[in-house]
A and B are shown apart, each in its own frame.
Chain A
């Protein structure tokens, strides 16, 4: 494997890690909101104090 490909893969992994780190909780919130019927208020979903 060439150095360019290695560099590309390493950058891809870094990007994936960043996306998962900042996108995981919003994903859970979206799935939780989307699969609820009736749809709850978003503040109620996000805040544990609501």
Chain B
């Protein structure tokens, strides 16, 4: 699924403030979930986003033809707060403010360099997380001394989403307390509906007065929800402690990373010392019988509500290969020293649900995953397969674009940059060197187009007792397009083949200005 711009900005905020979302218990199975549980929003969706400043964004989303009973995958028993979405037309207005300046990425074709969208970053896809490290504050918010006084700044993010026609508000506030501690307050607010309007000259028992609603809506207490969450990450350990006000639910999650790397070093900075330490990490890590080198993580969660007299427990273990394996400097580009792989096993002892998943990136553009779910009490089993394939822009097309955009009289170096002598002096024009320098640059990287080769992704999911789903997402002109279909082949065999196997179809269009 292509992230909505607001969700993408929240992820960018975490990245800009050096907070890893991968090193948490809730993200333990995300590599396989991204391949197997991708949602296909039914109906027609249009989203327009605007970035007036680097810290602020607004977005308008319109939806139509959305069925009233939204099919969710996997089926979740969680209640849907607020009234159901309108089939005719519903809208959402979103505002995001971040204290950390975020990139002004845009889907416009004319956008260049850093502003140009990187498709892989905005789409939910398979990715082996980075090596965990102790998070640090941004340089701009580190404590400083000014005129003998200690000046402290903190990073925070404000997020608000208004719904129409229903009067619902989603609010999120993120505040960085210390380098390793962060709090999240999330709120869903639906005010209690107003009483039926009554004309002032009508008495309450007037028979001409409109009848009261046959089913009064539930009280506002059930419609609103407030959750306070504390997240801690020390690299080695990470924890989440939460409290939901609506049902007085307390929760705790923890994750521990096994391995021998030191805390406090940021992975992927590229300096010489880091290279040496990363090599050492690879050598010291455990080796599986299949020959994969990687690291192990284990975690668990506990939830308890005294008010509802209910609780939940789950535990999980994960093996994942080291991210360096995808970008080894000793190998030619595109070659993998070992395929990026993640293997997870989760167990919910109360419900007896056991789930094992295996996901692997078989090439730079292709990833596959499988998952086996089994219930120890009911013996229900489910096998799910899924995969994704990224489409790339052809090199030939790039070269043609490059030649069309390059003025011939100037001379260029191997990276497509205009040479200083020709650009500044202008008096000496060595026209003989221009053709040769052009031939030296078969695929010049213009305006970040080299990194932006990925233009689309195709995703497929098939399961033994649920749906068959197909999703294509990609760039089309200035827009991000998502088109998906969910089918249940068992329906086609029922009632003599008169039932359509298609359960839902969705189309989404996004424009980030």
- Interface residues of A, Cβ cutoff 8 Å to B: 17-18, 20-21, 24-25, 27-29, 31-32, 35-36, 40, 44-50
Contacts and interface: CB of A to CB of B under 8 A. Distances in A.
A25 B95 contact: yes
A24 B160 contact: yes
Nearest to A42: B52
A48 B58 contact: yes
Given A17-B189, A47-B58, 6 more contacts: A18-B191, A21-B169, A27-B158, A32-B95, A36-B56, A45-B58
Given A24-B160, A25-B162, A31-B158, A46 B58 contact: yes
Given A32-B56, A48-B58, A21 B191 contact: yes
B158 A49 contact: no
Interface string B64-97: 0000000000000000000000000000010111
A24 B169 contact: yes
Interface string B404-440: 0000000000000000000000000000000000000
B229 interface: no
B53 interface: yes
A36 B49 CA distance: 18
A45 B189 contact: no
A9 to B, nearest CB: 14
B11 interface: no
Nearest to A27: B158
Given A47-B50, A49-B48, A31 B97 contact: yes
Interface in B182-222: 187, 189, 191
A45 B52 contact: yes
B446 interface: no
Contact of A20 (B58, B95, B162, B171): B171
Given A17-B189, A29-B95, A47-B50, A24 B58 contact: no
A49 B60 contact: yes
15 contacts: A20-B189, A21-B189, A24-B160, A24-B169, A24-B171, A25-B93, A25-B160, A28-B96, A28-B158, A31-B158, A36-B53, A47-B50, A48-B60, A49-B48, A50-B50
A49 B17 CA distance: 29
- The secondary structure that dominates the A interface is helix
Contacts of A48: 48-50, 58-60, 93
B314 interface: no
Contacts of B125: none
Contacts of B189: 17, 20-21
Contacts of A49: 48, 50, 60
Interface string B152-196: 000000111010000001010000000000000001010100000
Nearest to B161: A25
Interface in B29-59: 48-50, 52-53, 55-56, 58-59
Q: Which residue among A24, A36, A46, A47 has the maximum number of chain B CB atoms within 10 Å of its CB?
A: A24
Given A21-B189, A48-B48, A48-B59, A40 B53 contact: yes
Interface residues of B, number: 25
A46 B189 CA distance: 21
A27 B224 CA distance: 20
A20 to B, nearest CB: 7
B48 A32 contact: no
Which of B49, B50, B97 has the most C-beta atoms of chain A within 10 angstroms of its own C-beta?
B97
Contacts of A20: 171, 187, 189
A21 B158 CA distance: 14
A18 B169 CA distance: 11
Contacts of B97: 28, 31-32, 35
B246 to A, nearest CB: 12
A35 B99 CA distance: 9
Task: List 8 tightest A-B contacts by C-beta distance, closest first.
Answer: A32-B56, A48-B60, A48-B58, A48-B50, A32-B97, A25-B160, A28-B158, A44-B52
A5 to B, nearest CB: 20
A27 B171 CA distance: 11
A27 B364 CA distance: 44
Nearest to A38: B53
Contacts of A50: 50, 52
Interface string B222-252: 0010000000000000000000000000000
Contacts of A25: 93, 95, 160, 162, 169
Contacts of A17: 189, 191, 224
A46 B171 CA distance: 17
A20 B173 CA distance: 12
A22 B503 CA distance: 38
A31 B53 CA distance: 12
